């Protein structure tokens, strides 16, 4: 579990540095080599290990089903995801087919094993709410995303020929909506009420999430229904975002440093849905500069605002919570166990929240002046993730410090 979660911020640092010092030619065009490299480094390098690690943990805790091979797979998730992201980035930036060849091979092995392991546990999950429904079906969504990605990587490698733009649209739709949005929505349905004391989602939410997100994706498989599916997806995402915004706004723990990240997450998904609808309905009437910027804004809102922000918020809670649980089990009775706030002080999380929100603002402003803003936006994002990574390392050092007296006593005691 820790092996999946702890490297993620440092891979986010790498993504920020890539933006700051990579070849900025073509930004903010969605097909610019740096845009494609950044997208895959962020999704595969940073987000995928956290999301997969969270699923390995939630399956037994929430759904009562153990992912049998998780202990063998999890040590390779972060390293393998980073390697795949590096291969794809090299392919996009250099144009060499070798990067796509190795990315396709590694993805087939690593994510194939992940999908099979998750599916082996998922079919036994009893669906009782949005979170368990997500855990039951999310492996299929991941399989679709990975399958589409491998198909395109194989095409770029010269293995076969496909309609790349059509497959790209499906890959992006399933990646953003079917995988990221569905998983954030499903996990947040349990995590946000637990840690931020919002009201529990109502019965309609529990019955419809995240299945409603997958419905337009199934319709989109038939090309003539693509536009209708896109409009439906925008309406569904906007509806969930408004409900989430209302719930987060009424949270009892609004003083928590990470609360604002969930607020910004809901606003980001709402804005992404509205901008996508605007792009779809008025594409022929938009000024050229706005039409060029819209895909960048939508991508930043969905990936950074809608995924990185909640991942940062959950890392700041899950890691100290796990440390607290381990300490409570290992420290002898009668000795004081430090609280979660002592393990990871809120002040550190508050500074991290400010930094990542600043990075989000700079990334959204980047299309206005791509070359001048790429460096500060990239460095701000790298700093925000480095701060989170450092805070988590200090949390583990506190864990070792608390256990040290007990370990020394065990070592010095006569056998």
Predicted confidence at residue 333, as pLDDT, reads 67
What pLDDT score was predicted for residue 127? 85
Residue 364 pLDDT class (50, 70, 90 cuts): very high
Rounded-to-integer distance, Cα 170 and Cα 172, Å:
5
Round to whole Å and give the CA distance between 305 and 316: 16
Residue 407 has pLDDT above 60, yes or no: no
Find the range with the poorest average confidence among 149-158, 203-212, 346-355, 374-383: 203-212
Whole-number Å distance between alpha carbons of 198 and 156: 46
**CA atoms of 335 and 268, how far apart (whole Å):** 44
| CA 415 – CA 410 distance, rounded (Å) | 9
Highest mean pLDDT, choosing among 6-10, 194-198, 252-256, 259-263: 259-263
pLDDT in the model for residue 330: 74
Task: Residue 243: name the closest of 206, 275, 277, 211 by CA.
Answer: 206
Average pLDDT, the chain: 92
Mean local confidence (pLDDT), 270-290: 92
Query: What is the rounded distance in angstroms from the CA atom of residue 66 to the CA atom of residue 63?
Result: 9
CATH fold for domain 2-398: Cytochrome C Oxidase; Chain A (1.20.210)
Nearest to 118 by CA among 96, 135, 100: 135
Burial class (CB in 10 A: 0-12, 13-18, 19+), 388: buried
Work out the average pLDDT over 29-54. 95
What confidence score (pLDDT) does residue 3 get?
75
**Range with lowest mean pLDDT among 37-41, 94-98, 200-204, 360-364:** 200-204
Question: Mind giving me the DSSP string for 53-98?
Answer: HHHHHHHHHHSS---TTHHHHHHHHHHHHHHHHHHHHHHHHH--HH
pTM assigned to the model? 0.94
DSSP code at position 127: P
Where is average pLDDT lowest: 21-25, 103-107, 123-127, 310-314?
A: 123-127
Name the nearest CA neighbour of 296 among 349, 249, 363: 363
Calpha distance 138→132 (Å, rounded): 10
- Indicate the domain borders of the chain: 2-398
The confidence score (pLDDT) of residue 63 equals 85
């Amino acid at each position: 579990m820790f092996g999946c979660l702890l490297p993620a911020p440092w891979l986010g640092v790498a993504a920020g540095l890539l933006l700051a010092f990579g070849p900025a030619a073509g930004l903010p065009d969605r097909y610019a080599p740096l845009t494609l490299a950044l997208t895959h480094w962020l999704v595969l390098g940073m987000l995928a290990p956290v999301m997969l690690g969270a699923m390995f943990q939630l399956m037994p805790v929430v759904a009562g089903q153990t992912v049998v091979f998780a202990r063998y797979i999890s040590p390779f998730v972060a390293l393998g995801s980073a390697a795949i992201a590096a291969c794809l980035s090299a392919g996009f930036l250099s144009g060499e087919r070798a990067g796509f060849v190795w990315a396709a091979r590694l993805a087939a092995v690593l994510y194939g094993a992940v999908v099979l392991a998750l599916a082996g546990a998922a079919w036994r999950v009893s669906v009782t709410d949005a979170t368990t429904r997500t855990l039951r079906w999310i492996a299929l969504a991941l399989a679709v995303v990975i399958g589409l990605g491998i198909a395109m990587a194989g095409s770029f490698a010269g293995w076969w020929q496909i309609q790349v733009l059509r497959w790209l649209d499906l890959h992006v739709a399933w990646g953003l909506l079917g995988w990221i949005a569905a998983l954030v929505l499903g996990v947040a349905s349990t995590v946000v009420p637990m840690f931020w004391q919002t009201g529990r989602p109502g019965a309609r939410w529990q019955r419809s999430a995240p299945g409603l997100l997958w419905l337009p994706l199934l319709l989109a498989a038939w090309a003539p229904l693509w536009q209708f599916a896109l409009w439906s997806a925008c309406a569904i995402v906007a509806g969930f975002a408004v409900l989430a915004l209302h719930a987060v706004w009424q949270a009892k723990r609004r003083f928590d440093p990470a609360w604002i990240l969930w607020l910004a997450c809901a606003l980001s998904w709402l804005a992404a849905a509205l901008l996508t609808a605007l792009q779809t309905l008025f594409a022929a009437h938009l000024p050229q500069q706005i039409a060029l910027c819209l895909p960048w804004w939508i991508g930043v809102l969905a990936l950074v605002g809608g995924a990185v922000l909640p991942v940062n918020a959950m890392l700041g809670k899950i890691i100290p919570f796990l440390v607290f649980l381990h300490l409570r089990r290992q420290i002898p009775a009668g000795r004081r166990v430090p609280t979660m706030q002592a393990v990871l002080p809120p002040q550190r999380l508050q500074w991290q929240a400010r930094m990542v929100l600043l990075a989000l603002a700079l990334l959204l402003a980047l299309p206005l002046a791509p070359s001048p803003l790429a460096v500060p936006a990239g460095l701000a994002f790298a700093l925000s993730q480095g701060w989170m990574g450092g805070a988590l390392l200090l949390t583990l050092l506190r864990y070792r410090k608390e256990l040290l007296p007990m370990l020394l006593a065990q070592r010095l005691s006569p056998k």
